[in-house]
Amino acid sequence: MTHLQRNRRATVLRFIRAVCALAAVATLSARSALSCEVCVEDHVAATYDFQVVSKAGATGRSVLFVALRGKDVTTPRSKEAIQKAVSAMAGVDSGSIRFSAVPPAASFAWDPKRHGSGEILRVVNAKLAKDDLTLVALRVITPNR
């Protein structure tokens, strides 16, 4: 085998290894994305209330589904702090707030004409920071109009 042939063979082998490595990374990334989507669906399903979503759609409100983060996020004290912070936002329907301990999640309806979901989360998370609690947006259901 000549020097040129050995170089070609080595180049082809490096190319094959690179393609295999790329395929492995793509496969692992796809699995991570799929499991993440399953996790989101678990959080949404845990706090989904058909009556809340139906009423929100009929009144032009949206429903925000969030994951709850923090050390003691499932304690009654944390739930009370989250309820108080979310209810204090103008445009939030305080009667629509739903909680789940496993997975730690919440949802609520609000008037998107008054505030965007990002603004609600910024204000609520600022209030919850002293309790080391955070809401993380997962999904928004908007009215069918």
Domain spans of the chain, in order of start: 47-141
69 close to 16: Cβ distance less than 8 angstroms = no
The whole-number average pLDDT for the span 65-84 is 94
- What pLDDT sits at residue 16? 72
Instruction: Report percent pLDDT > 70 for the chain.
Output: 81
- What pLDDT sits at residue 79? 95
- Model confidence at 13, in pLDDT bands (50, 70, 90)? low
115 close to 64: Cβ distance less than 8 angstroms = no
Pick among 3.40.190.10, 1.10.357.10, 3.30.70.100, 1.10.3470.10: CATH of 47-141 = 3.30.70.100
- What pLDDT sits at residue 29? 46
In terms of C-beta density within 10 A (0-12 exposed, 13-18 middle, 19 or more buried), how is residue 37 classed?
Answer: exposed
- What pLDDT sits at residue 110? 96
